[in-house]
Structure 1
Amino acid sequence: STGHDDINTILIETLHRELCQPLTLIINQMIATSIFPNSLKIAKIKPLYKKGNRHLWENYRPISLLPAIFKILEKKNILKQPPLQNQ
Protein backbone atom coordinates (compact mmCIF):
# COMPACT_ATOMS: atom_id res chain seq x y z
CA SER A 1 0.00 0.00 0.00
CA THR A 2 1.03 3.58 -0.57
CA GLY A 3 1.14 6.59 1.70
CA HIS A 4 -0.68 9.85 1.03
CA ASP A 5 1.78 10.56 -1.82
CA ASP A 6 0.38 7.55 -3.75
CA ILE A 7 3.92 6.58 -4.78
CA ASN A 8 4.50 2.85 -4.59
CA THR A 9 7.94 1.68 -3.45
CA ILE A 10 7.89 -0.84 -6.33
CA LEU A 11 7.71 2.12 -8.73
CA ILE A 12 10.77 3.67 -7.09
CA GLU A 13 12.63 0.35 -7.25
CA THR A 14 11.72 -0.02 -10.93
CA LEU A 15 12.86 3.52 -11.78
CA HIS A 16 15.80 3.63 -9.36
CA ARG A 17 18.33 4.62 -12.04
CA GLU A 18 16.22 7.56 -13.18
CA LEU A 19 15.31 8.65 -9.64
CA CYS A 20 18.66 8.19 -7.91
CA GLN A 21 20.14 11.59 -8.73
CA PRO A 22 17.01 13.72 -8.05
CA LEU A 23 16.25 11.87 -4.80
CA THR A 24 19.88 12.19 -3.69
CA LEU A 25 19.74 15.95 -4.30
CA ILE A 26 16.51 16.27 -2.31
CA ILE A 27 17.79 14.15 0.58
CA ASN A 28 21.14 15.96 0.69
CA GLN A 29 19.33 19.31 0.75
CA MET A 30 17.18 18.12 3.65
CA ILE A 31 20.30 17.05 5.56
CA ALA A 32 22.24 20.24 4.73
CA THR A 33 19.41 22.53 5.82
CA SER A 34 18.17 20.31 8.68
CA ILE A 35 14.67 20.81 7.33
CA PHE A 36 12.34 17.84 6.97
CA PRO A 37 9.11 18.77 5.11
CA ASN A 38 5.96 18.19 7.13
CA SER A 39 4.35 16.50 4.13
CA LEU A 40 6.77 13.59 4.57
CA LYS A 41 5.56 13.10 8.15
CA ILE A 42 1.93 12.55 7.21
CA ALA A 43 0.76 8.95 7.47
CA LYS A 44 -2.40 7.29 6.22
CA ILE A 45 -3.84 5.15 9.01
CA LYS A 46 -5.64 2.01 7.88
CA PRO A 47 -7.23 -0.77 9.91
CA LEU A 48 -5.62 -4.19 9.46
CA TYR A 49 -7.78 -7.21 10.28
CA LYS A 50 -6.31 -9.53 12.94
CA LYS A 51 -8.83 -12.28 13.70
CA GLY A 52 -12.38 -12.94 14.82
CA ASN A 53 -15.53 -11.11 13.81
CA ARG A 54 -14.76 -8.66 10.99
CA HIS A 55 -17.62 -6.40 12.19
CA LEU A 56 -15.92 -5.61 15.53
CA TRP A 57 -13.31 -2.84 15.70
CA GLU A 58 -11.32 -4.63 18.40
CA ASN A 59 -10.40 -7.28 15.81
CA TYR A 60 -8.38 -4.72 13.84
CA ARG A 61 -5.11 -2.94 14.52
CA PRO A 62 -4.02 0.36 13.00
CA ILE A 63 -1.13 0.51 10.55
CA SER A 64 0.60 3.67 9.32
CA LEU A 65 1.22 4.01 5.59
CA LEU A 66 4.08 6.47 5.13
CA PRO A 67 5.26 8.33 2.01
CA ALA A 68 7.72 6.37 -0.14
CA ILE A 69 10.59 8.84 0.34
CA PHE A 70 10.16 8.55 4.13
CA LYS A 71 10.55 4.78 3.80
CA ILE A 72 13.78 5.28 1.83
CA LEU A 73 15.15 7.65 4.47
CA GLU A 74 14.22 5.18 7.20
CA LYS A 75 15.73 2.20 5.37
CA LYS A 76 19.04 4.01 4.77
CA ASN A 77 19.20 5.13 8.43
CA ILE A 78 19.19 8.79 7.40
CA LEU A 79 16.55 9.44 10.05
CA LYS A 80 19.10 8.50 12.74
CA GLN A 81 20.90 11.81 12.07
CA PRO A 82 20.42 14.72 14.49
CA PRO A 83 16.78 15.89 14.57
CA LEU A 84 15.62 17.86 11.55
CA GLN A 85 13.55 21.02 11.88
CA ASN A 86 9.93 21.16 10.76
CA GLN A 87 8.89 23.09 7.70
Structure 2
Amino acid sequence: MDRTPEKSLSVPQITVVIATQLRPERLPYLQEMHASLTRQTAPWEAVLVLDGADPALVPAPITTDPGSVSSSCPARSAPPAPATSA
Protein backbone atom coordinates (compact mmCIF):
# COMPACT_ATOMS: atom_id res chain seq x y z
CA MET A 1 0.00 0.00 0.00
CA ASP A 2 1.42 3.37 -1.04
CA ARG A 3 1.67 5.73 1.96
CA THR A 4 3.17 8.76 0.22
CA PRO A 5 1.95 12.03 1.75
CA GLU A 6 0.21 13.06 -1.48
CA LYS A 7 -1.93 9.91 -1.52
CA SER A 8 -2.70 9.82 2.20
CA LEU A 9 -3.85 13.47 2.20
CA SER A 10 -6.22 12.94 -0.71
CA VAL A 11 -8.58 10.79 1.40
CA PRO A 12 -10.41 12.75 4.11
CA GLN A 13 -9.91 11.50 7.64
CA ILE A 14 -12.81 13.63 8.89
CA THR A 15 -16.27 13.97 7.35
CA VAL A 16 -18.60 16.60 8.75
CA VAL A 17 -22.24 16.19 7.71
CA ILE A 18 -24.32 19.33 8.10
CA ALA A 19 -28.09 19.26 7.52
CA THR A 20 -29.33 22.80 7.08
CA GLN A 21 -32.25 24.87 5.86
CA LEU A 22 -29.82 27.79 5.33
CA ARG A 23 -31.82 30.15 7.51
CA PRO A 24 -30.27 33.62 7.19
CA GLU A 25 -29.72 34.02 10.94
CA ARG A 26 -27.72 30.75 11.00
CA LEU A 27 -25.43 31.43 8.01
CA PRO A 28 -22.71 33.09 10.15
CA TYR A 29 -22.41 29.85 12.18
CA LEU A 30 -22.06 27.82 8.98
CA GLN A 31 -19.33 30.17 7.78
CA GLU A 32 -17.54 29.97 11.14
CA MET A 33 -17.65 26.17 11.04
CA HIS A 34 -16.17 26.18 7.54
CA ALA A 35 -13.43 28.61 8.61
CA SER A 36 -12.62 26.33 11.55
CA LEU A 37 -12.37 23.31 9.26
CA THR A 38 -9.99 25.12 6.91
CA ARG A 39 -7.60 25.64 9.83
CA GLN A 40 -7.37 21.90 10.58
CA THR A 41 -4.27 19.93 9.70
CA ALA A 42 -6.08 16.61 9.06
CA PRO A 43 -7.71 16.07 5.67
CA TRP A 44 -11.44 16.75 5.89
CA GLU A 45 -14.59 17.09 3.86
CA ALA A 46 -17.86 18.83 4.64
CA VAL A 47 -21.12 17.45 3.30
CA LEU A 48 -24.02 19.90 3.28
CA VAL A 49 -27.50 18.41 3.14
CA LEU A 50 -29.83 21.21 2.12
CA ASP A 51 -33.23 20.56 3.64
CA GLY A 52 -35.43 22.28 1.07
CA ALA A 53 -32.99 25.19 0.82
CA ASP A 54 -31.93 26.92 -2.38
CA PRO A 55 -28.32 25.88 -3.14
CA ALA A 56 -27.66 29.44 -4.33
CA LEU A 57 -27.86 30.54 -0.67
CA VAL A 58 -24.73 28.58 0.32
CA PRO A 59 -22.02 31.18 1.09
CA ALA A 60 -19.40 31.55 -1.67
CA PRO A 61 -16.37 30.52 0.44
CA ILE A 62 -18.04 27.15 0.99
CA THR A 63 -19.21 26.56 -2.59
CA THR A 64 -15.77 27.29 -4.00
CA ASP A 65 -13.96 25.01 -1.52
CA PRO A 66 -13.17 21.60 -3.08
CA GLY A 67 -13.53 20.01 0.39
CA SER A 68 -17.23 20.90 0.50
CA VAL A 69 -19.94 18.86 -1.15
CA SER A 70 -23.62 19.76 -1.14
CA SER A 71 -26.77 17.83 -1.88
CA SER A 72 -30.39 18.85 -1.84
CA CYS A 73 -33.45 17.15 -0.53
CA PRO A 74 -37.02 18.37 -0.97
CA ALA A 75 -38.56 20.53 1.70
CA ARG A 76 -40.29 18.52 4.35
CA SER A 77 -44.03 18.83 4.49
CA ALA A 78 -45.92 18.91 7.74
CA PRO A 79 -46.72 15.46 9.14
CA PRO A 80 -50.29 14.30 8.60
CA ALA A 81 -52.77 15.17 11.30
CA PRO A 82 -53.53 12.29 13.67
CA ALA A 83 -56.74 10.42 12.96
CA THR A 84 -59.62 11.16 15.25
CA SER A 85 -62.23 8.65 16.29
CA ALA A 86 -65.86 9.58 15.82
User: Aligning the two structures, in what range does the TM-score lie when normalised by the shorter sequence?
Assistant: 0.3 to 0.5
Would you tell me which structure has more helix in proportion to its own residues?
A: 1
Between Structure 1 and Structure 2, the one with more strand by share is 2
Larger Rg: 1 or 2?
Answer: 2
Higher RCO (C-alpha under 8 Å, 6+ residues apart):
1
